C-alpha cells in the first residue's frame, strides 16, 4: 500500500474516532500527523521512479484580496480562502451575489485589477510559478463575438491568431473543427453568429462559441465566469454538460473552474467539487456530493424535492438574514471535523506535498 493510501485511511479513522468520542481536535491532529509522518518515512522508497507530471494541479491557501478606493478605504473581498482544483475535474464556485466568486476566479487566473492587493499562496503543481502561454484560458461572462462571421470562421480566425506560427495551417483548421465538435456545434458550423437586428445563433450556442474560442489552444486550465448567465435551464444544462465533458477528452485532462450563480439540480450533479462562499469566506469546500450531508450534520438539512443549490444559497445568504453564515474556516473545523479532515486536509496535503 502506498503512503498516500495509508495517510488517507488513517485520516478517515482519526476523524471518525473524534466524531464518536468527541475528543479534542487539536491534540488529535498533533498525534495523528506524527503517526502519518512516521508511516511515510517507513514506506517511502527513494529509488522508486516518479511519473512525469504533465497535468496541472492548482492549490491556494489563505488567499486574501482587498480593494482600495478613496471613499471607503481598504475593503476585503476575499478573506483567508483555501482550496484546490485537480485535473479532469470540474470545480464550481457558488455563493450569493457579491460574495467574491468572480474575484476568486480572477485571482486564480491572475486577472485581478490594479487597484486590488492580494496575499496568500497560489501554487501550480505545488510551486509558485507563472502559467506558461497557452496553459490556461478564461471565458468571460459576456459573449464578445463578431456577428457577421460564421461559427467556423470565428473559431478558425481565433486559431490563426492564438496558435504559434510553426503549427501548420492544416492542423490549425483541424483544431478549430475539433473544438467546434467538442462543444456540439457541428450542425451550426456555417451559421452566422448574429447580433442586434441580425438573426443567428441562440444564446446557448453563442456561449458555446465563446468557449470554443478559448479551448482551441487546448489549455490545461479553463476558467469560466458564470457560463450559464442569461440561459434557460435546458440551455444551461447542455452548456455545462459540454463543459464537464472537456475535463477528460482525447487524452487531455483539463482542470476546470467555473463560477456559477444558481444551477439546477441536474447541473449540480455535474460538479465534482464545490466551493461555497459567503461574504468572502469559505463556508464549504469539498465533494459536491457531500455538501448536502455537511449541511444536515450542522443542523440545516435540505428539504425533500428541493434543489440543493437553492438550499445552500438560502442558508448562507446574509443579505436577507435567513441564517448567519459560518464566520471562518476554524468554525468549520469545530462544527464538522469529519468534513474538514477528509474533504479538505487530506486532499489538500496530498496535492501540495
- The structural domains of the chain, with segments of one domain joined by +, span 1-50, 53-135+219-345
Architecture in CATH of 53-135+219-345:
3-Layer(aba) Sandwich (3.40)
Among the listed residues 162, 168, 212, 163, the one whose alpha carbon sits nearest the alpha carbon of residue 186 = 212
Predicted local distance difference test score (pLDDT) of residue 115: 86
Quick one: average pLDDT of 253-273? 93
Whole-number CA gyration radius for the chain: 22
Grid coordinates representing 9?
485511511
For residue 346, name the pLDDT band (cuts at 50, 70, 90). very low
Report how far residue 236's alpha carbon sits from residue 233's, in angstroms, rounded to the nearest whole number: 5
Predicted local distance difference test score (pLDDT) of residue 80: 93
Q: Which residue has the higher pLDDT, 195 or 59?
A: 59
Predicted local distance difference test score (pLDDT) of residue 351: 55
Tell me, rounded to whole angstroms, the distance of Cα 101 from its chain centroid. Answer: 10
Predicted local distance difference test score (pLDDT) of residue 350: 54
Predicted local distance difference test score (pLDDT) of residue 179: 93
Residues 215-231: tens digit of each pLDDT: 999 999 999 999 998 88
Lowest model confidence (mean pLDDT) among 20-24, 68-72, 96-100: 20-24
The chain-wide mean pLDDT, for the chain, equals 78
For residue 84, name the pLDDT band (cuts at 50, 70, 90). very high
Answer for the pair 95, 277: CB distance below 8 angstroms, yes or no.
yes
What is the sign, positive or negative, of the torsion defined by CA atoms of 93, 99, 102, 106? negative
- The yes-or-no verdict on residue 325 having pLDDT over 60 is no
Report how far residue 311's alpha carbon sits from residue 29's, in angstroms, rounded to the nearest whole number: 32
Predicted local distance difference test score (pLDDT) of residue 114: 86
Q: Which residue has the higher pLDDT, 253 or 338?
A: 253
Amino acid at each position: 500500500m502506498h503512503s498516500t493510501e495509508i495517510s488517507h485511511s488513517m485520516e478517515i479513522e482519526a476523524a471518525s474516532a473524534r466524531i464518536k468520542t468527541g475528543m479534542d481536535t487539536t491534540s488529535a491532529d498533533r498525534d495523528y500527523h506524527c503517526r502519518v509522518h512516521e508511516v511515510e518515512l517507513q514506506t517511502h522508497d527513494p529509488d522508486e521512479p516518479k511519473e512525469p507530471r504533465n497535468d496541472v494541479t492548482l492549490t491556494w491557501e489563505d488567499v486574501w484580496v482587498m480593494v482600495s478606493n478613496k471613499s471607503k478605504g481598504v475593503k476585503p473581498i476575499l478573506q483567508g480562502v483555501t482550496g484546490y482544483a485537480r485535473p479532469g475535474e470540474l470545480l464550481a464556485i457558488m455563493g450569493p451575489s457579491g460574495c467574491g466568486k468572480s474575484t476568486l476566479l480572477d485571482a486564480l487566473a491572475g486577472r485581478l485589477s490594479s487597484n486590488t492587493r492580494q496575499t496568500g499562496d497560489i501554487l501550480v503543481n505545488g510551486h509558485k510559478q507563472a502559467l506558461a502561454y497557452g496553459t490556461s484560458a478564461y471565458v468571460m461572462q459576456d459573449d464578445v463575438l463578431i456577428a457577421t462571421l460564421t461559427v467556423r470562421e470565428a473559431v478558425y480566425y481565433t486559431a490563426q491568431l492564438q496558435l504559434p506560427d510553426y503549427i501548420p495551417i492544416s492542423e490549425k483548421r483541424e483544431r478549430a473543427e475539433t473544438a467546434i465538435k467538442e462543444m456540439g456545434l457541428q450542425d451550426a458550423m456555417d451559421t452566422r453568429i448574429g447580433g442586434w437586428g441580425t438573426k443567428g445563433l441562440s444564446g446557448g450556442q453563442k456561449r458555446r462559441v465563446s468557449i470554443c474560442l478559448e479551448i482551441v489552444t487546448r489549455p490545461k486550465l479553463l476558467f469560466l465566469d458564470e457560463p450559464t448567465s442569461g440561459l434557460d435551464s435546458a440551455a444551461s444544462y447542455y452548456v455545462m454538460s459540454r463543459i464537464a465533458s472537456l475535463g477528460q477528452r482525447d487524452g487531455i485532462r483539463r482542470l476546470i473552474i467555473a463560477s456559477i450563480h444558481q444551477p439546477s439540480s441536474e447541473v449540480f450533479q455535474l460538479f465534482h467539487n464545490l466551493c461555497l462562499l459567503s461574504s468572502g469566506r469559505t463556508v464549504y469546500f469539498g465533494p459536491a456530493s457531500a455538501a448536502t450531508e455537511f449541511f444536515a450534520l450542522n443542523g440545516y438539512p435540505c428539504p425533500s424535492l428541493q434543489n440543493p443549490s437553492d438550499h445552500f444559497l438560502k442558508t448562507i445568504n446574509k443579505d436577507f438574514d435567513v441564517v448567519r453564515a459560518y464566520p471562518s474556516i476554524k468554525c468549520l473545523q469545530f462544527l464538522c471535523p469529519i468534513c474538514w479532515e477528509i474533504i479538505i486536509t487530506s486532499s489538500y496535503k496530498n496535492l501540495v506535498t
